[in-house]
């Protein structure tokens, strides 16, 4: 990380990448790496209740959640407010207690277009005076990126606007596939630096403090960048959220998901949750991306903690009635 820059403004890194690519994994990697810097984190999730905040390592960081909409559309105002609050906290004024930090990391939702988020740092004068956009880092899921790039403009925008591309999950695909993907990414965005990663492990010096965001280059890609209004998302993509206080039967949950995925796997982008499973003292973390899912035990539930399952599914054409029924049927007998 370079501290040589004469620019006194606080550097900001935007972390993007399609649903399930490995953004939270990267965030946790950065927060636990020995870089000696204090990082303020802003996390935006698709869906009204956040799961990610429960999956971020318990670091001594300032973490602000934004869950009431997508960062690139409805909550840009919130982003500006949060950045303003953080600035006041660093300067020791305003409503927040004084909190010092050296840089800011923003994890966007997997469906966010990074351009309007980046725009915030140029069009809002007060923000631009205090913060400097350091880089947009895009995590790419080597296994599913081909499909996502074929299907949606969000994945293309995330690659197109990246300063750094992490080709992640290279353990899940053959070398030839990785090379083809790297070529494809290069043809979309020849200027971005590309690195291969597994579990989003990267030398933090390659992604933080790199001073890589160049406005002129972005304006070449998208001449309307600074004037852009919030864009349209794929309307068919929606999220369903489930919450249950009674302990669940994990087998039942896996069975109904399997049945759904056998027909709708391609349209089911992301599902994840923190689960309260009968007779299991630990929280069970459930992670799913298209047809791939796994559940792993996490820490034990704390004695004073409400044991509760929270589960989110994001995809196209989700049958809400069917899901609610199936989820209710997973309560352990
Ligand atoms: N096999 C494999 N799995 C990985 C790798 N990187 C991340 N994962 C797993 O992929 C799943 C999704 O990772 P996350 O970091 O939550 O992805 P994300 O981009 O934050 O997901 P959203 O916030 O839902 O968009 C988790 O189960 C990770 O453990 C990798 O390199 N290889």
Cα-to-centroid distance, 22 and ligand 1 (Å)? 4
Pocket probe mutation, ligand 1, options 15, 22, 139, max atoms within 8 Å of Cβ: 22
Q: Which residue has 């950045």 as its token pair?
A: 83
Q: How confident is the model over 108-112, as a mean pLDDT?
A: 84
Percent of the chain past pLDDT 70, that is, above it, reads 83
State yes or no: pLDDT of 60 exceeds 80. Answer: no
Cα-to-centroid distance, 97 and ligand 1 (Å)? 33
Q: Where are the beta strands (DSSP E) in the chain?
A: 10-17, 39-44, 62-66, 103-107, 131-141, 164-168, 193-196, 237-244, 268-275, 282-289, 292-300, 309-316
Share of the chain residues as helix, strand and coil, in percent rounded to the nearest 5:
35, 25, 40
What is the ipTM, given to two decimal places?
0.99
pLDDT category of residue 46 using cuts at 50, 70 and 90? low
Cα-to-centroid distance, 173 and ligand 1 (Å)? 15
Q: What is the pLDDT of residue 234?
A: 60
273 Cβ closer than 6 Å to some ligand 1 atom: no
270 Cβ closer than 6 Å to some ligand 1 atom: yes
Ordered by where they begin, the domains of the chain are: 10-227 (3.40.50.300), 237-328 (3.30.1220.10)
Which residues have C-beta within 8 Å of that of residue 134, sequence separation ≥ 6? 11, 12, 13, 103, 208, 209, 210, 211, 212, 213
Termini Cα distance of the chain: 54
Predicted model pTM: 0.85
Q: How confident is the model over 118-140, as a mean pLDDT?
A: 92
Cα-to-centroid distance, 160 and ligand 1 (Å)? 21
CA 236 – CA 208 distance, rounded (Å)? 35
State yes or no: pLDDT of 199 exceeds 60. Answer: yes
Cα-to-centroid distance, 332 and ligand 1 (Å)? 28
19 Cβ closer than 6 Å to some ligand 1 atom: yes
Nearest protein Cα to ligand 1, atom 2: 169
- Reading the block at residue 212, the tokens are 């890589």
- Of ligand 1's listed atoms, the one at least distance from the Cα of 52 is 23
Q: What is the pLDDT of residue 235?
A: 60
């Amino acid at each position: 990380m370079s501290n040589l820059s004469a620019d006194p403004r606080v550097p900001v890194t935007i972390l993007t990448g399609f649903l399930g690519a490995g953004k939270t994994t990267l965030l946790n990697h950065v927060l636990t790496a020995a870089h000696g810097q204090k990082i303020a984190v802003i996390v935006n999730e698709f869906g009204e209740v956040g799961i990610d905040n429960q999956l971020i390592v318990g670091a001594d960081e300032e973490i602000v959640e934004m869950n009431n909409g997508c960062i690139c559309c409805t909550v840009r105002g919130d982003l500006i407010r949060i950045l303003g609050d953080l600035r006041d906290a660093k300067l020791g004024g305003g409503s927040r207690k004084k909190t010092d930090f050296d840089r800011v990391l923003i994890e966007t939702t997997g469906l966010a277009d990074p351009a309007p988020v980046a725009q915030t740092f140029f069009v809002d004068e007060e923000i631009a005076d205090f913060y400097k956009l350091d880089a947009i880092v895009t995590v790419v899921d080597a296994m599913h990126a081909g499909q996502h790039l074929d299907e949606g403009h969000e994945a293309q925008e995330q690659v197109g606007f990246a300063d750094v591309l992490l080709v992640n999950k290279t353990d899940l695909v053959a070398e030839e596939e990785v090379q083809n993907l790297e070529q494809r990414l290069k043809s979309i965005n020849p200027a971005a630096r590309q690195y291969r990663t597994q579990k989003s492990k990267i030398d933090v010096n390659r992604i933080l403090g790199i001073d890589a965001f160049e406005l002129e280059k972005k304006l070449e890609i998208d001449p309307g960048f600074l004037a852009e209004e919030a864009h349209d998302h794929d309307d068919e993509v929606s999220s369903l959220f489930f919450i249950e206080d009674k302990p669940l039967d994990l087998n039942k949950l896996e069975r109904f998901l399997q049945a759904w995925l056998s027909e709708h796997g391609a349209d089911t982008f992301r599902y994840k949750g923190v689960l309260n499973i009968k007779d299991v003292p630990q929280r069970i973390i459930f992670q799913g991306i298209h047809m791939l899912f796994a559940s792993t035990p996490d820490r034990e539930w704390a004695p004073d903690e409400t044991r509760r399952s929270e589960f989110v599914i994001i995809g196209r054409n989700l049958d809400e009635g069917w899901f609610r029924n199936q989820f209710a049927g997973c309560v352990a007998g």
